[in-house]
Structure 1
Amino acid sequence: MKNYILPVLVLCTLSVVAQPSPSSETKSTDPATITKEFLNAVRGHDSKKATALLHPDVIWVQPGTNRLSGVKKSREEVQEMGKRMGELSDKSIELAEVRVLNANGNSVACLLRWKAVQPTGNVLDVENIDVYTIENGLIVSVKVYSADLEQENRFW
């Protein structure tokens, strides 16, 4: 009997060890998770990760009548808008708060608070509601609603 126990234990151990472990690189397609990852990347100034979560042909609608307003039709245009925000705010732009994040199907609505200060002393402190649409694990569209377009237009 003792002769059989050791080989059985070894086989059991090997079968457990040989099982593939779940990859930490497994990408979620859950809309809320994708949106959280994107916003965390934005907060952490990780433009590479944020850009990777955008579909190449993402549609981004930025409100207002300022130099950043309008419809962006690619991840490159969105990336350029982000760079321009950094330049215009002397790199002070920050996603200060993510207050609400709720999913409904493949759409996720977020209440966000943005802050920035220009070298001239002009201040941005505004809440936005952003609506993200996710398909196949990527953000395909974003529509931004500002709580204070007048402030944003003055700042940008």
Structure 2
Amino acid sequence: MTTPLSVITRYFDALESGDFATVAAQFAEDVVWHQPGSNRFSGSHRGADAVGALIGGMMSVSEGTFSLRRNAPLMLNGDVVAAPVAWTARRSGASMDGVGVDVMRVADGKVAEVWLYTADPASEDAFWGQA
């Protein structure tokens, strides 16, 4: 049986191992991703293709070094899962280490909506920069 917790566990297992095909397979076609801050990636991204482009863009800007991992157990409330996370990224002349919470709503066995929260939005904005 597919549960919200199993979908999000599969998503993070794939993300942490670099299996982006499995990551992408977890998204509903009409997924909505809310990226915080005031940088080139901020705002709401609608659709699986847009979310894939967002993740690809982050990998490109970070010269392939962006990585994110769970740093505490996943927490479930109905069809919504909260994931405490930590991330790191490097590129020429800049680095970023951050923590936050990813909140993900699951519908029909797919990630339908994502809200990201960061503990230090100014540092994240400085790293990602403007388009």
TM-score bracket, normalised by the shorter chain, equals over 0.9
**What residue in structure 2 maps to residue 50 of structure 1?**
23
Structure 1 segment 137-152 matched on structure 2, within 5 A: 137-152=109-124
Secondary structure at the aligned position of 1:100 is classed as coil
Structure 2's unaligned 5+ residue stretches are none
| Equivalent-residue separation in structure 2 for 1:37 and 1:86 (angstroms) | 20
- Equivalent residues of 2:29, 2:47 under 8 A apart: yes
**What residue in structure 2 maps to residue 86 of structure 1?**
59
TM-score by length of 2: 0.94
Structure 1's unaligned 5+ residue stretches are 1-27
| Equivalent-residue separation in structure 1 for 2:40 and 2:119 (angstroms) | 18
Amino acid at match of 2:97: D
**What residue in structure 1 maps to residue 96 of structure 2?**
124
Amino acid at match of 1:140: A
TM-score by length of 1: 0.79
CA RMSD of aligned residues (A): 1.0
Structure number with higher relative contact order (C-alpha < 8 Å, ≥ 6 residues apart): 2
Deviation string, structure 1 residues 13-57 (Cα, Å, up to 9, x no partner): xxxxxxxxxxxxxxx421111101001111111111111110000
**What residue in structure 2 maps to residue 6 of structure 1?**
none
Give the drift of 1:100: 2.9
- Equivalent residues of 1:61, 1:142 under 8 A apart: yes
Q: Percent identity?
A: 29
Match 1:109 to one of 82, 87, 111: 82
2:47 pairs with 1:74: yes
Give the drift of 1:64: 0.3
Q: 1 or 2, which has the higher strand percentage?
A: 2
Task: Give the ranges of 4+ consecutive aligned residues of structure 1 lying more than 3 Å apart after TM superposition.
Answer: none
